[in-house]
Structure 1
Amino acid sequence: MEFSEVVRRRKMVRSYTSDPVDPEVLDKILHNATRAPSAGFSQGWAFLVLDTPEDVRRYWEATAPSVKAGDNPDAWLTGMMQAPVIVIPCSSKAAYLDRYAEPDKGWTDRDEAHWPMPFWHMDTAMATMLILQTVVDEGLGALYFGIPPEADAAVRLAFGVPDTFDPIGAVTIGHPASGGAKGSPTRRQRVPLGDVVHRGRW
């Protein structure tokens, strides 16, 4: 598929079939994620892969009270829970603070004040975008979404996420199904290019 077609086709998929994802395809998706740029080549990311029914179920039990309680989930959750794979991208601030305290970077301390923007999150987000694009290129569907703040501790506990890494969200991956909850693009127009691009001056 041409790159421009991958970009055009990329959308958030909220409903999946129960068909499994080919393990080789999943490995390719994860490999491509590691080709993202990172400040100082710090590569302060990690990817928690949940690709068994038991692990996927544990994720939803940790993040959705209705699932844990055995209640019927809403339309969004019903479609999402069919995804056979969940990838949780995690960022490591420590990796960046350590890297930039090395001799070739010139900082002599690990002071977070050196970073006006949290590149550890930004670089992991770029890796996540490569996941989404590769998914499309492989004829699959995906959705990036946030982990509820109140569920962070439960996710860490359920899957042993170390304190040196922070989940930045989650990505469901699978074969798209018809139906499911509608996304915002069905209710909102894409902002015209002329309204978001400023040439030479705002």
Structure 2
Amino acid sequence: MELEKVIQERRSVRKYQEKPVEREKINACLDAARLAPSACNSQPWHYIVIDDPKVKEDFCKEAFSGVYAMSKWAEKAPVLVAVVSDKGNFTSRIGNFFRRTEFYLVDQGISGEHFVLRAHDLGLGTCWIGWLNSDKAEKFFHLPKSKKIEHLIAVGYPAETPDPRPRETLENMVSYNEYK
């Protein structure tokens, strides 16, 4: 598929077919994520693929408990991918401090976008999930205190094709040589 078409057609999918996702396809998405650029080449990410139904069920009980229950729809996705943050290497952390920008989060966004675009290219649907109980999710995987699950990506064969969401026009979001 052409990149422009992938970008135009990719949607956040919240309903999936009851069909397992091949590990080869997940690995292709992870390889795309791996190739993403990052500040000072710090590559501040680690991906945990949750594709065992029992592990996913137990994980979802923790991650989508309490006020996070509105994300329970993700339990039905065949695969959940947890994106674990790493604050980056020393050079990028210095940049974070001076610029007051958490570059590792920007880098994870770029890497995750590579993942979801490749998934769409392979016929998979995805949805970013930021509404989860990170504390319980991190305890579930026994992560060290220095690591955090920033978000999840639900993955599966789509059972829906959501309509495009409204987008700003270029005229409303771009200015040249001055801020308007």
Q: TM-score, normalised by structure 1?
A: 0.79
CA distance in 2, matches of 1:64, 1:124: 22
- The reply on whether 1:200 has 2:177 as its aligned counterpart is yes
Aligned residue number for residue 105 of structure 1: none
- Deviation by residue 1:110-165 (Cα, 9 ceiling, x = unmatched): 696234210111101110001110010001100001143xx222111111222222
1:19 partner letter = K
Query: Could you list the runs of 5+ residues in structure 2 that have no partner in the other structure?
Result: none
- Deviation by residue 1:39-88 (Cα, 9 ceiling, x = unmatched): 1111111111101101211221012237xxxxxx87x634x322111111
CA contact (8 A) 1:45 1:90 kept: yes
- The reply on whether 1:156 has 2:138 as its aligned counterpart is yes
CA distance in 1, matches of 2:6, 2:84: 24
Query: Could you list the runs of 5+ residues in structure 1 that have no partner in the other structure?
Result: 67-72, 102-109
Question: May I ask how many residue pairs the two structures share in their alignment?
Answer: 177
1:146 partner letter = G
Aligned residue number for residue 135 of structure 1: 119
How far residue 183 of structure 1 moved from its aligned partner, in angstroms, is: 8.2
- The reply on whether 1:85 has 2:85 as its aligned counterpart is no
Q: What secondary structure is seen at the aligned counterpart in 1 of 2:76? A: coil
CA distance in 2, matches of 1:152, 1:136: 26
CA distance in 2, matches of 1:178, 1:153: 31
CA distance in 1, matches of 2:81, 2:92: 28
How is 1:1-202 mapped onto 2 (pairs within 5 angstroms)?
1-65=1-65, 77-78=72-73, 80-93=74-87, 95-96=88-89, 98-99=90-91, 113-148=97-132, 151-178=133-160, 185=165, 189-202=166-179
2:146 partner letter = T
Q: Compared with structure 1, are the counterparts of its residues 132 and 124 closer, same or farther at alpha carbon in structure 2 (3 Å cutoff)?
A: same
Q: What secondary structure is seen at the aligned counterpart in 2 of 1:88? A: strand
1:114 partner letter = F
1:126 partner letter = I
Q: TM-score, normalised by structure 2?
A: 0.88
Structure 1 residue runs of 4+, over 6 Å off? none
Q: What secondary structure is seen at the aligned counterpart in 1 of 2:144? A: coil
CA RMSD of aligned residues (A): 2.3
2:81 partner letter = V
Identity, % of aligned positions: 24
